[in-house]
Amino acid sequence: MTTTRRRTAVTAAVAGLTGACLGIGGVSLALWSDSAELGGTVAAGYQSFAVGTPGAADPAPTGTAVHTVGPREATRLVRDGELAVAVEVDSLSQGNKGLRYVVTPPESWGSGVLGSADIALFRVDSPRECRIQELTPESVPEPSGYESTPVPATYSESTEPVREYWCLYAAYDGAPEVGEYANTATVTARPPAGADVEAKDTWGATVVARLDPAAEPVHTITFTSTTFRPGEQP
């Protein structure tokens, strides 16, 4: 009598984001590891996302970061008539996970100084391209979208983040007009002899809003990153 035994073993293990962030060189790195024997994909690596002033981007372990502008920038805008603020975005994703992010400007710039300016937010190749010496309202490019995929979903062991830059440019030609003012003065004089003499003078002025840069609210530009696997839409 023959006995045949068949054994089938299928193993699959998935370990997600560890939740532990390691501070390495000022960059917050999140460790992740995936394995699936049947799928033939084994990957492990670090992931990081940082946003901020060029050369001093702040780590965003949750994948979401904000960059703010407010009274300080409004004061510069009123003083100079122009404002250019560069923002650095550092992205790193090892293994075979890609990384993309979306930029969300404020829904409204309000009714203060920035709300009265012409504002554009766009990608630049370097911080040098985001200076008022390099920009004019006519040279500012049209926005081509508020998202980027700096890291594709191809296997990588790189420890250097992909560095990108955004530029916030504003042009301000004064407070908005809110009305007009006109007045007429009449003066009548009676000489010792003869008819009365009358003179009139009219003057007017444009009334503009009174905007205080120190009272400018804080405006938030949000950067939100997500990761994706090979074959998934970024």
| Distance in angstroms (rounded) separating the CA atoms of residues 134 and 125 | 13
Per-residue confidence (pLDDT) for residue 143, from 0 to 100: 76
Question: pLDDT at position 144, please?
Answer: 78
The Cα–Cα gap between 169 and 89 comes to 17
Q: Give me the pLDDT at residue 159, please.
A: 92
pLDDT at 34: 47
Which residues 6+ apart lie within 8 Å of 138 measured at CB?
none
Q: Token pair for residue 122? A: 């766009």
For residues 150 and 88, give the distance between their C-alpha atoms in angstroms, rounded to a whole number.
Answer: 13
SS (H, E, C) the chain: CCCCCCCCCCCEEEECCCCCEEEECCEEEEEEEEEECCCCEEEEEEEEEEEEECCEEEECCCCEEEEEECHHHHHHHHHHCEEEEEEEEEEEECECCEEEEEEECCCCCCCCCHHHCEEEEEEECCHHHCCCCCCCCCCCCCCCCCEEEEECCCCECCCCCEEEEEEEEEECCCCCEEEEEEEEEEEEECCCCCCCEEEEEEEEEEEECCCCHHHCCCEEEEEEEEEECCCCCC
The reported pLDDT for the residue numbered 233 is: 72
Q: Which of 44, 47, 58 lies closest to 21, judged by CA?
A: 47
What averages of pLDDT result for each successive group of 10 residues across the chain (234 residues)?
38 33 41 42 71 96 96 96 97 94 96 94 96 91 90 92 97 67 64 69 53 94 95 76
CA distance linking residue 121 with residue 141, whole number of Å: 9
How confident is the model at residue 83, as a pLDDT? 96
